[in-house]
């Protein structure tokens, strides 16, 4: 979280808050790792509701939740909305706010007016509930901030004044300027994700949550020193740390041994969230009503949310029972280094590849094969957010085809539009990419949609051809033999791109649309929840 020194309130060296040796219970196989504090709470609540003893208590916490305007439903920045139907996507932020009690944590109020989003995670639980993906965003990520209403952090309200859009600013400036609404607009624009839930938490809340459960386990390979915060963990190895030390562990941005700022910090946040969840799910917490109730109270007291309540979270938790730790993956937005403003430049193509993999449920590095979904009871599915698209009954899973060499695809190009000569031009462009042109002509009628038709056994060839078009859909038809026919509709914009590389996978959606799988970058930072190694 914040990199600021404690201005006289930091613990002296040696008082690092390391407590108790780790219990062997903490090393047992974790059930779920969910990359956000709100999801930690929902799983705990799920375990409680199964006993039926504290349901009324859980529901009563709704009255204590602080509600803030955040969501931007129906945004044009959301892509492939139908493929996100039924997904739950949380934007979770740790806020560097020093109002009230936070003024004693990491700085003073007059030095740090307002608030910034110091930790930014986008957590997605897909409709089939078979995995969880959390993406960490560098707070210094270079963005074009959208036009936003100015936000007052102390009152959690927006003014009538709009701040104009500005280029080359840091991502956390979006929160500082326009609050949760502005940050969600910025993240939605980067990711294309349909963000339907928001959770913010402050410094004091994080400390209290850790302390109420007796600390969390971490493992360091050497003593941890930060040039601003000082000595954080004095000894190497596995150990349990208390709330103040845990806060410093996730906030530190000047650790010489890491050689980086945001990336080392984001990895530590991901590792500590894993440990936090394992502890919350242990018998030491779940079977101790005092600890668990204190944890819930700490969460509720220090968070502000939109479209989050105990009932919907409990239903989400029930629908995810059986998710294994190997299906929980943390990713980090890759960047190409700083620009002149010292903002981290996003690698746009790689960022798109990450969110394509999330939207279309493609495999992620290090992820175990998902177990079959046990969510057969639709009553267990969480209530949909207002305005959310819902999956159609009987909707099939996307199927994959392996792209062929264009020279192995014989193409018949037919003009189904009203534009003279369109088929000939398209045939020339396709031939330039190596496709074998079988014939060129007019279709018998005008079509509004560009269609690629193929006969049984030629789906891979058809998918390869479709990958060169932005909006074509596949249709299986008899009688074409080995020929693949593309019928250019009135929606065809005369744009043909290079086909998917031979051997790469192309996803065919239930409606016949084709989405080429763009490979994820080799240097992608990945933390899998099933990995308990000490690094």
Q: To 10 degrees, what angle do helices 289-301 and 37-51 make?
A: 140
326 in any annotated domain: yes
Tell me the CATH number at 329: 3.40.630.190
Residue-level pLDDT at 437: 97
Answer for the pair 33, 255: CB distance below 8 angstroms, yes or no.
no
491 and 385 in a common domain: no
Are the beta carbons of 146 and 186 closer than 8 angstroms?
Answer: yes
- The Cα–Cα gap between 257 and 415 comes to 62
pLDDT above 70 covers a percentage of the chain that reads: 75
Residues 364 and 424 in one domain: no
Task: Classify residue 328 as exposed, middle or buried by CB count within 10 Å of its CB (0-12, 13-18, 19+).
Answer: buried
Which tokens sit at 455?
A: 């006969």
Q: Between 243-251 and 203-212, two packed helices, what is the crossing angle to 10 degrees?
A: 130
Average pLDDT of the chain, as a whole number: 79
Phi, psi of 386 (to 5 degrees): -60, 125
User: Of 338, 359, 390, which residue sits at a domain end?
Assistant: 390
Q: What is the pLDDT of residues 274-290, one digit of tens each?
A: 778 667 766 687 677 78
- Same domain, yes or no: 58 and 116: yes
Min mean pLDDT across 112-121, 335-344, 367-376 is at 367-376
Residues above pLDDT 90, as percent of the chain: 44
Under the banding of pLDDT at 50, 70 and 90, the label for residue 386 is very low
Domain end call among 390, 420, 454: 390
Report the distance separating Cα 38 and Cα 338, nearest Å: 32
Alpha helices by DSSP H, listed for 302-446, are 310-319, 348-359, 422-432
Residue 465 has pLDDT above 90, yes or no: yes
Query: What is the structure's pLDDT at 365?
Result: 86
C-alpha to C-alpha distance for 319 and 206, rounded to whole angstroms:
27
Residues 421 and 385 in one domain: no
| Residue 94 and residue 117 in contact, taking contact as beta carbons nearer than 8 Å | yes
DSSP designation for 98: -
Q: What pLDDT does 291 receive?
A: 83
Q: Hey, what are 453's tokens? A: 């038709």
Task: Output 314 or 367, whichever has higher pLDDT.
Answer: 367
Number of domains in the chain: 2
Position 370 scores a pLDDT of 59
Q: Strand 335-338 and strand 148-152: pairing?
A: unpaired
Q: Could you tell me the pLDDT band of residue 38, with boundaries at 50, 70 and 90?
A: very low
Same domain, 328 and 434: no
Among the listed ranges 167-181, 321-335, 516-530, which one has the minimum average pLDDT value? 321-335
**In angstroms, rounded to a whole number, what is the distance separating the alpha carbons of residues 105 and 412?**
68
pTM of the predicted structure, to 2 decimals? 0.75
Task: Show the domain range for 82.
Answer: 18-390
Q: What is the dihedral of CA 59, 199, 204, 301, to 10 degrees?
A: -20
Rounded CA-CA distance 357/9 in Å is: 44
Q: Across the chain, which distance is largest between two alpha carbons, in Å?
A: 83
- Evaluate whether 250 touches 276 at the Cβ level (below 8 Å): no
Q: Measured between alpha carbons, how far is 183 from 188 in angstroms, rounded to an integer?
A: 8
């Amino acid at each position: 979280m914040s990199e600021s020194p404690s201005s006289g309130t930091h613990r002296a060296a040696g008082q690092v808050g390391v407590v108790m040796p780790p219990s062997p219970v903490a090393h047992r196989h974790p059930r779920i790792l969910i990359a956000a504090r709100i999801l930690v709470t929902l799983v705990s609540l799920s375990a409680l509701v199964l006993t039926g003893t504290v349901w009324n208590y859980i529901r009563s916490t709704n009255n204590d939740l602080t509600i803030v305007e955040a969501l931007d439903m129906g945004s044009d920045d959301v892509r492939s909305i139908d493929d996100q139907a039924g997904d739950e996507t949380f934007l979770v932020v740790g806020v560097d706010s020093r109002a009230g009690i936070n003024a004693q944590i990491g700085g003073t109020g007059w030095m740090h007016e307002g608030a910034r989003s110091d930790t930014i995670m986008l957590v997605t639980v897909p409709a089939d509930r078979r995995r969880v993906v959390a993406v960490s965003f560098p707070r210094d990520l270079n963005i074009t901030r959208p036009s936003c209403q100015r936000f007052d952090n102390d009152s959690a309200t927006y003014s009538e004044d709009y701040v104009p859009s500005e280029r080359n600013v840091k991502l956390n400036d979006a929160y500082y300027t326009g609050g949760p609404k502005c940050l969600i607009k910025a993240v939605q624009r980067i990711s294309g994700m349909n963000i339907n839930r928001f959770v913010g938490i402050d410094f004091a809340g994080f400390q209290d949550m850790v302390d109420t459960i007796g600390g969390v386990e971490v493992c360091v390979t050497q003593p941890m020193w930060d040039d601003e915060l000082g000595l954080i963990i004095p000894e190497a190895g596995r150990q349990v740390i208390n709330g103040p030390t845990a806060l410093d562990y996730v906030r530190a941005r000047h650790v010489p041994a890491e050689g980086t700022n945001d990336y080392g910090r984001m990895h530590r946040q991901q590792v500590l969230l894993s440990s936090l969840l394992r502890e919350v799910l242990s018998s030491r917490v779940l079977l101790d009503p005092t600890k668990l109730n204190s944890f819930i109270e700490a969460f509720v007291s220090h968070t502000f949310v939109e479209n989050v309540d105990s009932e919907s979270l409990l239903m989400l938790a029930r629908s995810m029972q059986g998710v294994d730790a190997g299906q929980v993956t943390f990713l980090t937005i890759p960047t190409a280094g700083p620009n002149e403003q010292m903002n981290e430049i996003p690698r746009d193509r790689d960022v798109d590849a990450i969110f394509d993999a999330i939207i279309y449920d493609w495999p992620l590095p290090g992820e175990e094969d998902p177990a079959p979904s046990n969510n057969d009871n639709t009553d267990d599915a969480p209530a949909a957010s207002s305005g959310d698209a819902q999956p159609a009954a009987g909707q099939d899973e996307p199927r994959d085809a392996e792209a062929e060499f264009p020279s192995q695809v014989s193409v018949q190009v037919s003009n189904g539009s009203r534009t003279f000569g369109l088929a000939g031009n398209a045939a020339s462009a396709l031939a330039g990419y190596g496709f074998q042109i079988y014939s060129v002509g007019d279709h018998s009628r005008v079509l509004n949609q560009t269609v690629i038709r193929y006969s049984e056994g030629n789906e891979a060839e058809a998918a390869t051809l479709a990958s060169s078009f932005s909006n074509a859909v596949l249709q299986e038809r008899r009688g074409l033999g080995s020929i693949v026919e593309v019928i250019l509709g009135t929606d065809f914009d005369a744009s043909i791109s290079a086909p998917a590389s031979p051997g790469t996978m192309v996803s065919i959606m239930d409606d016949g649309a084709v989405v080429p799988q763009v490979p994820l970058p080799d240097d992608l930072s990945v933390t899998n929840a099933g990995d308990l190694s000490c690094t």
